[in-house]
C-alpha cells in the first residue's frame, strides 16, 4: 500500500517494556495502525466523599487514577499480497503480533519453570514473579508507566491454515502513580516526568482571567 508522497511521517503508538531490575529496554510493542480513538478517564482521589469532613473538601490524597482505553487493529492482508517478501506472515499470519501483545500480561515459561524449581527445593515463601515495567507511548507528549487491566482479542479473518490474518485488540491501561511505586522507585520517575509535562502543557493554554469578560469574582 502506497501513501501520498507529501504526507508527513506519522509516529506509531506503542508500549515499551523495561526490565524491572535494570530498567533497560527489553522489547517494544508497536501498534500496526494508530487507533482512531483513545478514551481517557480520571478518577479524583479526594480526601472527603459526599458526606466527608467539610474541612477536607479541597484536599487531595494523590494523583487521579487515570485509565486509557483503546482498540488496535492488526491486518496481514497487505503483506499476504507479497508472500515471498513476508514469509513469517505467510507461515503464521498475525500470530506473532498477537503473542507479543499477550506477553504484556503473562509470565514467561522460563519464569514459571524457575518458580517450580524453587518450590521443588522446599522453599515455601517466594516472591511473586515481577513483570516488566510498561511505558505507554502516545506521541512525545504522552509517555506514562501503565499496567494492563483489561485485554481482549477478536480474531476476524483466517487463512487456509486457520492462522488469524485480521484481529482487533482492546486494551485498558491504568497509569501507575507515586501511590503505586513509592518515591525512590524508577517507575515513580517516569510518572513524575509524565505529570510535569502535563503541567508544562497546561501553562501553554494561557488562561488570562481578563478573558472572563463581565464575570465578577468575590
Identify whether 82 is part of a domain.
yes
What was the pLDDT predicted at 118?
A: 74
Identify whether 8 is part of a domain.
no
Could you tell me which residue, 87 or 158, shows the higher pLDDT?
158
Helices (H), the chain: 77-80, 87-92, 95-102, 109-120, 178-181, 186-204
How large is the average pLDDT for residues 70-82? 84
Burial tier of 195 (Cβ tally within 10 Å: 0-12, 13-18, 19+): middle
How large is the average pLDDT for residues 183-192? 93
Total-model pTM: 0.81
What was the pLDDT predicted at 1?
A: 44
Name the residue among 148, 162, 155, 166 with its Cα closest to residue 69. Answer: 148
Identify whether 165 is part of a domain.
yes
Identify whether 211 is part of a domain.
no
Measured distance CA(33)–CA(14) in Å, rounded: 10
Task: Quick: pLDDT tens for 125-149.
Answer: 556 667 889 999 999 999 999 999 9
Identify whether 171 is part of a domain.
yes
- Termini Cα distance of the chain: 61
pLDDT band at 198 (very low <50, low <70, confident <90, very high): very high
How large is the average pLDDT for residues 35-59? 78
Identify whether 203 is part of a domain.
no
- Show the domain range for 159: 14-109+131-197
How many structural domains comprise the chain? 1
How large is the average pLDDT for residues 193-215? 80
Could you tell me which residue, 121 or 1, shows the higher pLDDT?
121
Task: Quick: pLDDT tens for 159-171.
Answer: 999 999 999 999 9
Identify whether 172 is part of a domain.
yes
Cβ-based neighbour number of residue 170 at 10 Å: 14
Identify whether 123 is part of a domain.
no
Amino acid at each position: 500500500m502506497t501513501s501520498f508522497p507529501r504526507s508527513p511521517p506519522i509516529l506509531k503508538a506503542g508500549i515499551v517494556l523495561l526490565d524491572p531490575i535494570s530498567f533497560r529496554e527489553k522489547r517494544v510493542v508497536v501498534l500496526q495502525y494508530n487507533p482512531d480513538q483513545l478514551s481517557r478517564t480520571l478518577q479524583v482521589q479526594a480526601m472527603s466523599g459526599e458526606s466527608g469532613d467539610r474541612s477536607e473538601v479541597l484536599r487531595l490524597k494523590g494523583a487521579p487514577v487515570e485509565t486509557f482505553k483503546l482498540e488496535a487493529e492488526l491486518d496481514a492482508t497487505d503483506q499476504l499480497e507479497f508472500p515471498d517478501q513476508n514469509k513469517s506472515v505467510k507461515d503464521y499470519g498475525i500470530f506473532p503480533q498477537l503473542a507479543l501483545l499477550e506477553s504484556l500480561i503473562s509470565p514467561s515459561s522460563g519464569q514459571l519453570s524457575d518458580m517450580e524449581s524453587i518450590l521443588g527445593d522446599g522453599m515455601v515463601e517466594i516472591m511473586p514473579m515481577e513483570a516488566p515495567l510498561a511505558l505507554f507511548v502516545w506521541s512525545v507528549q504522552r509517555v506514562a508507566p501503565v499496567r494492563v487491566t483489561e485485554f481482549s482479542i477478536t480474531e476476524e479473518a483466517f487463512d487456509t491454515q486457520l492462522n488469524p490474518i485480521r484481529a482487533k485488540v482492546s486494551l485498558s491501561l491504568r497509569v501507575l502513580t507515586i501511590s503505586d511505586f513509592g518515591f525512590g522507585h524508577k517507575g515513580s520517575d517516569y510518572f513524575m516526568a509524565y505529570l510535569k509535562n502535563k503541567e508544562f502543557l497546561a501553562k501553554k493554554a494561557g488562561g488570562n482571567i481578563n478573558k472572563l469578560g463581565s464575570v465578577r469574582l468575590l
